[in-house]
């Protein structure tokens, strides 16, 4: 463990600096409508990389809801490395997200890329996503600290966990303690995957901070065949949920099609996660023998 940390990211430090009142429990639970992220439930957020059309999003919303997702993802403002790539539908995309929420009851997570977009996106989103490229956009974080919505903060692709937690502190210090951390893979020398999923980030972050931690296996893998295995790994290390890309026709997606699951692949992944979730729940139960007092020495 990084000796420089010295507990500096403990919730108490955060509370002291931000003036936020401590909660009773030692872990923060982010509540979105009737959903609790960081509580007992494993919360799956799923949907397309980008909102492309009403038809695409509504179909996806229905499919992921049926398979057990609680939150619909979809970018209306897309941070793309190339200026020639699809940049998202903007406000039109936000309106489609709202329709999907009305139709399915799913909560919405979508990205705000710039300070100017924050108020508008907050009108439509239940959770504001900060993308990997924006984790160090401190003025955006500061504005999001005052937006009145929970924030899903993705780890920068070249950021250390310490830097991720500093960004979380900027949000909290600006007045927003409703933060969900997201490990989405980092840049390493490995080229077999789009990014390297730093699976150890989950237990580390859950040890040194009180925030819920979710995993995005899609952007880590870059290819859909690896997504279910990384999702299982996320469950095994105690993540609080997943952010997964799903598209009705992944091969025709305008962004991130190679890593997007089809509806049937998503359903299968969710079914296959069940036994792992059950093991996780059983492991989280107190084990009576650990609490036995005054037993024999035999």
Q: Which residues bind Mn ion (CB under 5 A)?
A: 49, 256
Judged by CB under 6 A, the chain residues 113 through 132 that form the site for ligand PEP are 131-132
Q: Which is nearer to Mn ion, 63 or 246 (CB)?
A: 246
Residue closer to ligand PEP (CB basis): 68 or 79:
79
φ, ψ at 56 (rounded to 5°):
-60, -45
Which residue of this chain has its Cβ atom nearest to Mn ion in the complex?
A: 49
**Which residues does 109 contact at the CB level (< 8 Å), separation at least 6?**
45, 71, 72, 73, 125, 126, 127, 128, 129, 152, 243
* Nearest position to ligand PEP, beta carbon: 131
Closest approach of Mn ion to the CB of residue 7, in Å: 35
Least CB distance from residue 11 to ligand PEP, whole Å?
25
Please tell me whether residue 75 binds ligand PEP under the rule CB under 6 A.
yes
Contact partner at residue 132 from Mn ion, ligand PEP, none, CB < 5 to 8 Å by partner kind: ligand PEP
8 A C-beta contact, residue 231 and residue 275: no
State which of residues 22, 39, 68, 79 lies at the interface with ligand PEP (CB under 6 A).
79
Q: Which of 11, 154, 206, 247 binds ligand PEP (CB under 6 A)?
A: 154
Distance from the Cα of residue 257 to its chain's centroid: 19
Q: Locate tokens 């996320």: which residue?
A: 234
CB of 101 to ligand PEP, least distance (A): 18
Which of 11, 101, 219, 224 lies at the binding interface for ligand PEP (CB under 6 A)? 219
- DSSP secondary structure code for residue 262 in this structure: P
Q: How far is the CB of 82 from Mn ion (least distance, A)?
A: 14
Number of residues counted as binding ligand PEP (CB under 6 A):
9
Count of Cβ atoms closer than 10 Å to residue 274 Cβ: 11
Strand partners of residue 44? 242
Comparison of 69 and 170: residue with beta carbon closer to Mn ion: 69
In angstroms, give the least distance from the CB of 156 to ligand PEP. Answer: 9
Q: Distance between CA 249 and CA 228 in Å, rounded? A: 18
Residue 49 within binding range of ligand PEP, rule CB under 6 A:
yes
C-beta separation of 20 from 172 below 8 A: yes
Contacts with 77 (C-beta within 8 Å, 6 or more apart), sequence order: 87, 88, 90, 93, 110, 111, 112, 113, 114, 117, 121
Contacts to ligand PEP by CB under 6 A: 49, 75, 79, 131-133, 154, 184, 219
């Amino acid at each position: 463990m990084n000796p420089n940390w010295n507990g500096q990211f403990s919730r108490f430090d955060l509370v002291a600096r931000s003036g936020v009142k401590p909660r009773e429990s030692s872990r923060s639970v982010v509540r979105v409508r009737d959903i609790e992220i960081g509580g007992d439930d494993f919360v799956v957020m799923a949907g397309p990389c980008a909102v492309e059309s009403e038809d695409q999003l509504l179909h996806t919303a229905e499919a992921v809801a049926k398979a057990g997702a609680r939150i619909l993802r979809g970018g209306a403002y897309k941070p793309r490395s190339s200026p020639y790539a699809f940049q998202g539908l903007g406000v039109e995309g936000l309106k489609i997200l709202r329709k999907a929420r009305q139709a399915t009851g799913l909560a919405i997570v979508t990205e705000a890329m710039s300070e100017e977009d924050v108020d508008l996106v907050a009108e439509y989103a239940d959770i504001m996503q900060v993308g990997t490229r924006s984790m160090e956009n401190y003025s955006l974080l500061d504005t999001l600290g005052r937006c009145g919505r929970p924030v899903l903060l993705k780890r920068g692709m070249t950021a250390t966990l310490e830097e991720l937690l500093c960004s979380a502190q900027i949000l909290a210090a600006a007045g927003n303690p409703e933060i969900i951390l997201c490990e989405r893979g980092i840049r390493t020398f490995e080229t077999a995957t789009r990014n390297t999923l730093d699976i150890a980030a989950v237990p580390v972050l859950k040890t040194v901070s009180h925030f819920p931690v979710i995993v995005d296996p899609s952007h880590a893998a870059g290819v859909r065949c690896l997504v279910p295995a990384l999702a299982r790994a996320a469950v095994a290390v105690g993540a609080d949920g997943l952010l997964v890309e799903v598209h009705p026709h992944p091969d025709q997606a305008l962004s991130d099609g190679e890593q997007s699951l089809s509806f049937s692949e998503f359903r299968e992944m969710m079914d296959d996660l069940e036994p792992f979730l059950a093991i996780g729940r059983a492991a989280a139960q107190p084990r009576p023998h650990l609490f036995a007092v005054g037993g024999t020495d035999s």
